[in-house]
Amino acid sequence: MFFHNKKFHEIETPILIGYPPAESYLDVFQTTLLDRRHKKTSAYLSTSPELALKKLLVAGIGNCYSITKSFRNGETDSKTHTPEFTILEWYRVNKTYVDLMDDCEQLIRFIAASLKKGSTLTYQGTSFDLSAPWIRISVIEAFSTYAQVDLNTFFDMDTARKIATKKGYTVTASNTWEELYNQIFLNEVEPHLGVTKPTIMYDFPSAMGALCRKKISDPRLVERFEFYIGGLEVGDCYGELTDWKEQKARFDQELVEIQRIGKTLYEYDHDFIEALKEGMPEASGIAVGLDRLIMLFTNTKTIQETQLFPYEDLFDK
Amino acid sequence: MATISTGDFKKGIFVTFKNEPHQIMEFQHVNPGKGSAFVRTRLKSLKTGKVQEFTYKSGESIEELPVETHEMQYLYPEGEGYVFMDNRTYDQVTVPKLLIGDFVRFMKENDTYQILTHEEEAVGVRLPKKVRLLVTEANEGGARGNTVGGALKVVTLETGAEVNVPLFIKQGEMIAIDPETGTYVERA
């Protein structure tokens, strides 16, 4: 309804695909497509509607959205993850990630209003004021305020190791910068996000934004934000990368990493690269975990409780 | 001392955290948006009973504290602990209340339990899968009605603990409880 009112196109995207986007931090579900002669072709369950929607952006569809199931293998043993989950993804053409921050606020308030919950949401004993404006804090500010870390110096790997070690974390030679960054983030910064009011955290380090546009004013950072309500990360937004050369380079890099860590290998979607060559309009897109929104609005503690058939029940232990 | 990784985590094991012995109460995997894996863990201090959360990098090395199991008879409460007696050696040990926690609700005097020790010091009790206890009070005032299964009422057990059970459980019956969740499992 929300998107219909804003005149977005609703899109149904394929779940069964031939070529996923190359992303080393995800694990794919792989299957086999048989043709009439039983010839086998590798097939995969899509990890997000992103590539399909972006191809449509290239084709000129304009603002669009999709609500679908996405599949991420290995995302088990968690109260907030499940390998098959419901995702809402939308894109705005010729708008920035800042414009999508407004979309997020409006969407959540729209849902609250439709459920007749007013502008206060109570989740697990805490009340959240959903009204504007939400807290907006940059990653650099968040690290400084909550972890007493100056991210500007932390960008240097040696300094990062020193800071992490000084804080008492275990640091080994094989740890990546992103692991050190995230361990501090998860232990010291994230617990403070979205705990009294919905919070938007923006401008991530570029290591955390493989498919994002770099900030023109500060290329160490990318145009990305996440928003948190009630301690739950609900949405992830990018100013999208439209340069096909850079996208291909990143995909190639990701495949190398996938091989290095031994995850299921696949060919990435070259068709998508061809589409980018045609020219994707400047756009920003965001993905929201719909199951988590349901958790928030129904005040349930685990993602499994929002499902009639959580995956844990479908397999023998 | 054994070095384990986060992949070896099990609920209830004992580890060193901030140089102090802790017990892992709970853990779950988290993937921060577009990043590697981490394990968010709840750890209870064996010294203070305080529970805190810490997120480990997936694959991080942690020191596990090996524990020994002793079959011990629960005797009585004393001060800030509970006195147990080793069935073989007749040695008595006082286990601090904070290491037993809620399990005391289901402990019966003279019953045998598995007390865990690390370097001669008690660190906790291994929760049995089920405890069998007598229902000593089951008031019949609970509403019957046409509910399709699932209706519960509160009864009192011989240890004084109150639990929710199905309506058909009567006073004088033996029932089995899952001590981890404190919930009714079946008739015993």
Cα B146 to chain centroid distance, Å, stands at 35
The answer to whether B38 contacts chain A (CB < 8 Å) is: yes
Q: Between these two residues, A210 and B4, which has the higher pLDDT value?
A: B4
The CA distance from B89 to B66, in Å, is 21
Domain extent for A7: 2-133+270-311
Tell me whether residue A287 is in a domain: yes
Indicate if B148 and B97 belong to the same structural domain: no
A170–B32 CB contact, under 8 Å: no
State pLDDT tens for residues B54-86: 999 999 999 999 999 999 999 999 999 999 999
Q: Does B40 touch chain A (CB under 8 A)?
A: yes
Window from B45-59, B90-104, B137-151 with minimum mean pLDDT: B137-151
Q: How many domains does chain A have?
A: 1
Least Cα distance to B87 among B74, B71, B102 occurs for: B71
Q: Is the pLDDT of residue B143 over 80?
A: no
What is the predicted ipTM? 0.77
Residue bearing tokens 């140089």: B19
Cβ distance of A208 and B61 shorter than 8 Å: no
pLDDT of residue A120: 86
The answer to whether residues A238 and A213 touch, using CB atoms and an 8 Å cutoff, is: yes
With cut-offs at 50, 70 and 90, classify the pLDDT of residue B149. Answer: low
pLDDT in tens, B111-127: 999 999 988 888 889 98
Give the per-residue pLDDT at B34.
55
Quickly state the pLDDT bin for B22 (edges 50, 70, 90): very high
Predicted confidence (pLDDT) per residue in A72-131, tens digit: 998 887 888 899 999 999 999 999 999 999 999 999 999 999 998 888 888 988 888 888
* Average pLDDT of the residues in B182-187: 92
Tally of structural domains, chain B: 3
Which of B18, B33, B54 comes nearest A187 by C-beta? Answer: B54
Domain extent for B27? 2-64
Domain boundary among B41, B64, B87: B64
Q: What is the torsion angle, in degrees rounded to the nearest 10, for the CA atoms of residue A294, residue A299, residue A302 and residue A305?
A: -70
B13 and B47 in a single domain? The answer is: yes
Q: Do the Cβ atoms of B29 and A81 come within 8 Å? A: yes
Nearest residue on chain B to A72, alpha-carbon basis: B31
DSSP B104-164: GGG--TT-EEEEEEETTEEEEEEPPS-EEEEEEE--TTS---S--S--EEEEEETTS-EEE
Q: With contacts defined as CB-CB under 8 Å, which chain A residues touch B57?
A: 170, 175, 179, 182-183
Mean pLDDT score of chain B, rounded to an integer?
A: 88
Tell me the C-alpha distance between B5 and A309, whole Å: 32
- What percentage of chain B has pLDDT greater than the value 90? 64
Same domain as B142, residue B121: no
Overall residue count recorded for chain B in this entry: 188
The pLDDT value recorded for residue B186 is 93
The whole-number pLDDT of residue B62 equals: 94
Instruction: Determine the pLDDT at residue B139.
Output: 74
B171: domain CATH number is 2.40.50.140
Per-residue confidence (pLDDT) for residue A196, from 0 to 100:
85
Query: How far is it, in rounded angstroms, from Cα A129 to Cα A196?
Result: 7
Would you call A233 and B33 a contact, using CB atoms and an 8 Å cutoff? yes
A49 within some domain:
yes
CB contact A228 to B (< 8 Å):
no
* Chain B residue numbers touching A185 (CB-CB < 8 A): 32
pTM: 0.81
Q: For residue A41, with 0-12 CB atoms within 10 Å meaning exposed, 13-18 middle and 19 or more buried, which class applies?
A: exposed
Last residue of a domain, one of B95, B126, B157: B126
Please say whether the beta carbons of A247 and A221 come within 8 A: no
B133 bridge partner residues: B175
Residue B148: is its pLDDT beyond 60? no
Contact B62, B15 (CB under 8 A): yes
pLDDT above 90 (res B145): no
B contact test, residue of A23, A24, A25 with most B CBs within 10 A: A25
* Per-residue pLDDT band at B37 (split at 50, 70, 90): confident
Distance from the B95 Cα atom to the nearest Cα atom in chain A, whole angstroms: 31
Minimal CA separation from B18 to chain A, in Å: 8
> What is residue B115's predicted lDDT score, i.e. its pLDDT?
93
The closest alpha carbon to B58, from A21, A121, A2, A77, belongs to: A77
Residues in chain A, pLDDT under 50:
none
Are residues B136 and B97 part of one domain?
no
Contacts of A29 (CB under 8 A, 6+ apart): A44, A45, A71, A73, A83
Is A141 inside a domain boundary?
A: no
Residue A91 neighbours by CB under 8 Å, 6+ apart: A53, A54, A57, A63, A64, A65, A240, A283, A284, A285, A286
- Partnered with residue B29 across adjacent β-strands are B39
3-state secondary structure of A63: coil
Same domain assignment for residues B41 and B81: no
Q: Is residue A69 a part of any domain in this protein? A: yes
Inform me whether the C-beta atom of residue B11 falls under 8 Å from chain A C-beta atoms.
no
Query: Given this model, what pLDDT does residue A96 score?
Result: 92
Residue of chain B minimizing CA distance to A180:
B57
Specify the pLDDT at position A23.
87
From B49, B64, B79, give the residue that closes a domain.
Answer: B64
Contact B9, A58 (CB under 8 A): no
Q: Coil, strand, or helix at residue A250?
A: helix
Pairing of strands A221-229, A232-239: antiparallel
- Cβ–Cβ below 8 Å for A170 and B60: yes
Nearest CA to A17 out of A28, A3, A1 is that of A28
**Is residue A248 in a domain?**
no
Position B142 pLDDT exceeds 80: no
Rounded-to-10 torsion of CA B128, B130, B133, B139: 140
**Which of A77, A187, A208 comes nearest B29 by C-beta?**
A77
Q: Output the domain CATH number for residue A90.
A: 3.30.930.10
Q: Determine how many CB atoms are found less than 10 A away from the CB of residue A98.
A: 15
Query: What tokens appear for A249 in the block?
Result: 């380079």
